[in-house]
């Protein structure tokens, strides 16, 4: 188990070309929100740490693939038409009646906007 308190996020275009990467420190970051934008998104969460930053995955439209191989708190908001492999602390908030598409002015379902 890693003793440092940070989370590394890397996103790709077509699973090969890096789009974004950053290391998030627990002293600076309360949560990480990952939004699927165009459907058919792939999320892989991995790593074992003593203290983790919660990760919220909002899948968006179309079918997504979500794999959690971590000991982090991961909460998935999406519909039921997805492939999901849960980790030890994964929570699923699945609903076919809530719109999970990205909207810049709102946060994920059931969570208030920052003021």
Write the pLDDT tens digit of every residue in 93-114. 998 887 777 666 665 555 545 4
Strands, sheet with 42-47, edge to edge from the N-terminal-most edge strand? 42-47, 65-70, 83-85
- Helix, strand, or coil (residue 45): strand
Low-confidence spans in the chain with pLDDT less than 70: 1-8, 10-15, 102-115
Q: Which residue has the tokens 């059931």?
A: 110
Domain ranges of the chain: 6-94
Q: What is the pLDDT of residue 109?
A: 54
Cβ-contact 91, 78 below 8 angstroms: no
Cβ-contact 74, 53 below 8 angstroms: no
Q: What is the pLDDT of residue 111?
A: 54
Closest CA to 44 of 30, 62, 57, 31: 57
């Amino acid at each position: 188990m890693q003793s440092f308190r940070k989370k590394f996020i890397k996103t790709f275009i077509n699973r090969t070309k890096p789009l974004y990467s950053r290391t998030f420190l627990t002293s600076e970051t309360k949560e990480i929100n990952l939004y699927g934008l165009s459907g058919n998104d792939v999320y892989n969460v991995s790593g074992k740490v003593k203290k983790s930053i919660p990760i919220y995955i909002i899948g968006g439209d179309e079918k997504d693939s979500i794999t959690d191989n971590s000991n982090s708190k991961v909460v998935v908001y999406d519909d039921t038409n997805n492939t999901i492999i849960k980790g030890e602390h994964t929570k699923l908030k699945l609903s076919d009646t809530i719109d999970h598409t990205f909207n810049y002015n709102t946060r994920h379902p059931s969570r208030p906007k920052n003021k």
